[in-house]
């Protein structure tokens, strides 16, 4: 290993250190964006600890030693690597945009060979300090000579992509656009890359046993390059591309790390002849010195400009050659059939292209067609092709026309008509007729499938209860696919994690959307929160399953993880393991023939499930106003009017400029607000100031109606505001006693009229019933009595809370304080939600609650004569919030825990010297009469407290003589006494 010498610097130039750190931070940001390999390595290692850097480096170190000891190190052993360039463009003609000219691709291949073999013309510019370390890797990259089907190729595939650009997180999508088996071909994808990345590469793995499942990400193995920095491009931004991005990423592909180790002076790149560096280099600073040595800024594994790069080192060569000779899918490249010319036969007739592996049509009519090609050297003039449908010979075409060597012919069969709803297999078999035999038969057969889909009426609901019935699976790779589970369908991704990038499809029936006014699709799903969640997409087809081109949903936008990660096969067990996504399909309302394809893509995650698929009229109207919540209001009236803010939201599809708010009492309109001044955009909310005069009755309920008018007529949504004239005052201390009907002057405010706060006898607590409330952002309030704090200097609130956080749902708990004598709640004193509120985590209903004690100092608010508190739960249909031991106590800090004894009070220390502490813990607050007596019964001290409950009181007993005394407490309910001793 290299020796590392540390040097410490102290900056004393005012803002100089800030500028230095700012530039360093900016430099690091640029470095992170240029090459995504560090992120890929971090992602892989977190997912598969068995592929850790430590284990890989230990393996490669041992292999390097063995290689050094063998005769390999002295041999000149040129190896060839077959390359295929997948040019993924946006439909441009060749030579425009990302659809690069072949000449530019040719030049990039030349640059790779020059740089890897020290044939680059700028090799003479290597600094003298490093020139003796320069190495040739003796690796030659060549265009693949035959494709995976054994046909001749030029090593370039051009394909329009499904996305305009790709980030490294979407590399499975990119590779699925075009891919050749990574065991035999070095895949190089050239595309428009997102997020500033110039490229990335998949890092090699060891050949140690036990790594098959973790390392077999063959479907993404290769190198990815941004087309702008591909080959020579004098117009590339930041720096002029000279093709060194490919050289850099190819170094990663063969196991080289960034020269600065992606860390600092203490982080190694595991090559002994590359100096340590504290960070990457940019530009071309050849004098850059960090870690007490000159940096090798010209190394291809740094971030310098292309024109500055010119060297790989001897130990980098040793590392790369070790990988080439030992790592799976690196060693196999050197033995690939792609290096060989395709086999040449005198007579070789083959099938090349069919319509597609799966197809369909609305009418059931299908015209089969296929291409045949003369792959042999001799012309052929007698051949036939048979078509079998579901195993039965349907048609034979015989040809007596010459097909020259290399010539292709497109063949059309008679129109087929499939009337029954089913899947049909169409098998083609090519035969050479006459006196000669076909010398290669493995390219003479192909199969495709036609699916005649069922028509289904709308509205439609499919529950996957042990069947898929009118749905069809498309399993093109013949690997894992959709399976039927209890109450759901799913894909066993967990057992097949090696098949990264594989797509599994299932096709719906055909629907006529002209029968719905405002269609909406929803599906119920379940999957755990893996670090790389499975990709789930839904595509629409307007030609009955022939083409699925319209993406209507993707979880790249909407996260659909529902449960916490598990280290085994995930099976949904609890209500919260499932969730629903709703998709607005209003744009399809004029389409007569629509079917859907649910596509789940293997991204090394756990199993994915769907239990229900539904299409129905959307509950969302064109013009509709919803009432979201009240703010700053107290429904407990003393002498004041009810006033506050009503939060309303445009929950319709259209922008609204006129609507009204009506307030009713016992069905009679008492006030309305006509609002037509401000445009309310769809999805936007706003506040409306509301003032309601004090009602005549003591208890009642206002109905608040938000009304709009449109083509659907009048649409009104109601919100209910219960009220009560409640001016009963309580003195602190006070404890919430909420055991069924007796709420001890506490008030529940439930504006949606759903199931609000209630007492749970099993838990001796109040609970929020969030698990039963499905209304979005529904609220429930629990409001305290009016507290008289006019004679209180210090006041505290303590309570215990329990909340089990589900993965997807997030309840919120807040406490508001009214410091205007109880008129309105405007002061937020406590707010926690989700993870911060949680005392435990899980989708299962807890068998035992986990509690956390909370304390809030209310002393800053006792300057007012009266205060109220409101406890508000905002629901998300997740787990319930539980509260107990809600207590107001006199004091500025929480009292110590009460001893585990069944006594109304305890005193300590005992014996006492100067102070005696009295800790009360009564069930019910009431007046208390205290006495301290000596053993003869003489009263030394007596006083009365108007209300006692849970106080913590200290007495000064320093003036008492040594001896035994009695503390006596008497209330209307009991009398108790305790002895204590004074000891000086």
**Where is 460: in which H helix or E strand?**
strand 460-463
Name the region of 123 (left: φ>0; alpha: ψ -120 to 50; beta: rest). Answer: alpha
| SS3 assignment for 788-843 | ECCCCCCCEEEEEEEEEECCCCCCEEEEEEECCCCCCCCEEEEEEEHHHHCCEECC
Distance of CA 686 to the CA centre of its chain: 30
Which is it for strands 636-637 and 713-725: parallel, antiparallel or unpaired? parallel
CA distance 828 to 837: 16
Q: Which helix (H) or strand (E) holds 794?
A: none
- For 511-547, the DSSP string reads E-GGG-SSEEEEEEEE-B--SSPPEEEEEEESSTTS-
Give helix then strand counts, H and E, for the chain: 10, 62
Q: DSSP letter string over 624-688?
A: -EEEEEEES--SEESSSPEEEEEEEEE-SSS-BS-EEEEEEETTEEEEEEEE-SS-B-TT-EEEE
The Cα 667–Cα 660 span in angstroms is: 17
Query: For residues 187 and 86, is the Cβ–Cβ distance under 8 A?
Result: yes
Is 272 marked active-site?
no
Say how far apart CA 657 and CA 639 lie, in whole Å. Answer: 36
Which 8-state DSSP code applies to residue 237? S
Q: Please give the DSSP secondary-structure letter assigned to residue 95.
A: T
What gap in Å lies between CA 760 and CA 883, rounded to an integer? 10
Q: In a 3-state reduction of DSSP, which class is residue 255?
A: coil
Report helix, strand or coil for 907.
strand
CA distance 420 to 806: 46
Sheet holding 358-359, edge to edge: 358-359, 445-452, 422-432, 383-389, 392-399
CA distances from residue 698 to 254, 635, 643 in whole angstroms, order as listed: 81, 11, 17
**Burial bucket for residue 424 (CB in 10 Å: 0-12, 13-18, 19+):** middle
For the record, the structure tokens of 761 come out as 């006898």
Structure tokens at 365: 């009519």
Task: Say whether 930 sits in a helix, a strand or coil.
Answer: strand
Tokens 């002849």 correspond to what residue? Answer: 273
C-beta separation of 271 from 250 below 8 A: no
The label of the residue with tokens 């297999």 reads 425
Distance of CA 927 to the CA centre of its chain: 57
Could you give the 3-state DSSP secondary structure of residue 341? Answer: coil
Cα distance between residue 102 and residue 971, in whole Å? 98
Instruction: Characterize the bridge pairing of strands 383-389 and 472-474.
Output: unpaired
929 - beta bridge partners?
Answer: 944, 970
Cα separation, 585 vs 615, whole angstroms: 9
Q: Which residues contact 368 (CB under 8 A, 6 or more apart)?
A: 355, 387, 412, 413, 416, 426, 428, 448
Cis, bond preceding 459 (omega within 30 deg of 0): yes
- The SS3 of residue 278 is coil
Q: Which helix (H) or strand (E) holds 591?
A: none
Which of 33, 170, 249, 962 is labelled catalytic?
249
Separation between Cα atoms, residue 656 and residue 51, nearest integer Å: 57
Q: Give yes or no for a contact between 779 and 748, defined as CB atoms under 8 angstroms apart.
A: no
Q: What distance in Å separates the CA atoms of residue 843 and residue 859, rounded to the nearest whole number?
A: 39
Active site residues: 249
């Amino acid at each position: 290993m290299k020796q590392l010498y540390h040097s410490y610097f102290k900056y004393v130039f005012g803002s100089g250190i800030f500028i230095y750190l700012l530039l360093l931070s900016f430099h690091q940001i640029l470095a992170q964006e240029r090459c995504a390999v560090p992120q890929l390595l971090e992602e892989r290692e977190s997912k598969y600890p068995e592929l850790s850097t430590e284990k890989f480096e230990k393996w490669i170190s041992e292999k390097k030693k063995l290689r050094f000891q063998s005769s390999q190190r002295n041999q000149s052993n040129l190896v060839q690597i077959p390359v295929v360039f997948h040019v993924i463009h946006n439909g441009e003609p060749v030579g425009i945009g990302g659809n690069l000219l072949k000449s530019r691709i040719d030049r990039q291949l030349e640059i790779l060979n020059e740089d890897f073999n020290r044939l680059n013309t700028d090799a003479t510019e290597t600094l003298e300090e490093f020139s003796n370390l320069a190495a040739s890797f003796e690796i030659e990259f060549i265009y693949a000579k035959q494709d995976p089907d054994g046909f001749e190729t030029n090593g370039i595939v051009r394909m329009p992509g499904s996305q305009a650009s790709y980030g490294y997180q979407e590399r499975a999508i990119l590779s699925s656009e075009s891919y050749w088996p990574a065991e035999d071909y070095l895949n190089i994808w050239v595309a428009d890359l997102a997020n500033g990345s110039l490229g990335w590469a998949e890092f090699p793995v060891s050949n140690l046993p036990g790594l098959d499942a973790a390392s077999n990400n063959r479907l993404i193995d290769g190198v990815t390059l941004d087309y702008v920095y591909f080959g020579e491009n004098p117009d590339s931004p930041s720096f002029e591309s000279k093709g060194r991005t490919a050289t850099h990423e190819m170094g990663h592909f063969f196991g080289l790390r960034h020269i600065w180790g992606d860390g600092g002076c203490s982080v190694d790149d595991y090559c002994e002849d590359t100096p340590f560096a504290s960070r990457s280099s940019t530009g071309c600073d050849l004098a850059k010195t960090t870690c007490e040595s000159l940096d090798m800024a010209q190394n291809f594994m740094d971030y310098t400009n292309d024109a500055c790069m010119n060297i790989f080192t001897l130990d980098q060569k040793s590392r790369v050659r070790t990988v080439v000779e030992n790592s799976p899918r690196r060693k196999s490249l050197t033995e690939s059939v792609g290096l060989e010319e395709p086999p040449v036969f005198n007579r070789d007739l083959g099938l090349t292209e069919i319509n597609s592996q799966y197809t369909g049509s609305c009418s059931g009519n299908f015209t089969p067609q296929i291409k045949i090609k003369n792959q042999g050297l001799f012309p052929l003039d007698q051949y036939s092709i048979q078509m079998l449908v579901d195993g039965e010979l349907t048609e034979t075409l015989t040809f007596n026309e010459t097909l020259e060597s290399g010539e292709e012919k497109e063949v059309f069969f008679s129109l087929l008509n499939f009337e029954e709803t089913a899947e049909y297999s169409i098998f083609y078999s090519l035969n050479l007729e006459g006196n000669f035999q076909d010398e290669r038969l493995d390219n003479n057969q192909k199969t495709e499938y036609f699916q005649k889909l069922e028509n289904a009426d709308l509205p439609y609901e499919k529950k996957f209860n042990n069947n898929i019935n009118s749905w069809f699976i498309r399993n093109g790779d013949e690997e894992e696919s959709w399976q039927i589970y209890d109450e759901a369908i799913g894909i066993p991704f967990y057992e097949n994690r090696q098949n990264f990038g594989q797509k599994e499809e299932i096709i719906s029936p055909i629907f006529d959307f002209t029968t719905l006014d405002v269609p909406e699709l929803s599906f119920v799903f379940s999957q755990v929160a893996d670090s790389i969640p499975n990709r789930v997409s839904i595509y629409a087809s307007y030609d009955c399953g022939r083409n699925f081109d319209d993406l209507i949903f993707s979880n790249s936008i909407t996260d659909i993880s529902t449960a916490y990660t598990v280290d085994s096969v995930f099976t949904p067990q609890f209500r919260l393991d499932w969730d629903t996504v709703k998709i607005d399909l209003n744009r399809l309302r004029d389409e007569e023939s629509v079917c859907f394809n649910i596509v789940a893509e293997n991204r090394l995650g756990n199993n994915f499930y769907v239990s229900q698929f539904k299409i129905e009229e959307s509950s969302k109207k064109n013009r509709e106003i919803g009432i979201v919540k009240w703010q700053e209001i107290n429904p407990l009236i003393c002498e004041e009017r009810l006033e506050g803010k009503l939060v309303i939201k445009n929950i319709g599809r259209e922008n609204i400029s006129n609507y009204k708010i009506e307030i009713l009492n016992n069905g009679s309109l008492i006030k309305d607000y006509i609002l037509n001044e401000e445009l309310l955009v769809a999805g936007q909310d706003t506040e409306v100031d509301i003032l309601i005069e004090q009602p005549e009755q003591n208890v009642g309920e206002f109905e608040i109606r938000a009304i709009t008018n449109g083509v659907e007529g009048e649409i009104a949504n109601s919100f209910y505001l219960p009220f009560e004239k409640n001016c009963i005052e309580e003195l602190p201390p006070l404890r919430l006693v909420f055991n069924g009907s007796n709420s001890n002057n506490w008030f529940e405010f439930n504006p949606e009229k759903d199931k609000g706060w209630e007492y749970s006898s099993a838990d001796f607590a109040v609970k929020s019933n969030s698990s039963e409330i499905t209304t979005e952002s529904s609220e429930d309030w629990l409001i305290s009595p009016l507290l008289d704090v006019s004679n209180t200097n210090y006041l505290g609130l303590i309570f215990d809370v329990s909340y089990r956080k589900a993965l997807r749902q997030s309840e919120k708990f807040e406490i508001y304080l009214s410091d205007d004598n109880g008129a309105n709640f405007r002061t937020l004193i406590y707010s926690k939600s989700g993870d911060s509120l949680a005392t435990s985590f899980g989708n299962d209903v807890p068998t035992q609650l986990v509690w956390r004690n909370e304390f809030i100092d209310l002393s800053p608010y006792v300057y007012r004569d009266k205060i109220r508190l409101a406890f508000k739960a905002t629901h998300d249909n997740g787990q319930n919030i539980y509260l107990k031991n809600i207590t107001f106590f006199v004091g500025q800090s929480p009292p110590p825990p009460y001893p585990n004894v069944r006594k109304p009070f305890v005193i300590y220390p005992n014996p006492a010297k100067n102070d005696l502490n009295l800790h009360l813990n009564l069930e019910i607050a009431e007046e208390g009469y205290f006495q301290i007596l000596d053993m003869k019964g003489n009263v030394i001290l007596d006083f009365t407290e108007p209300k006692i409950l849970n106080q913590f009181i200290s007495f000064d007993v320093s003036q008492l003589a040594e001896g035994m005394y009695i503390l006596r407490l008497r209330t209307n309910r009991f009398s108790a006494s305790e002895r204590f001793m004074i000891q000086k």
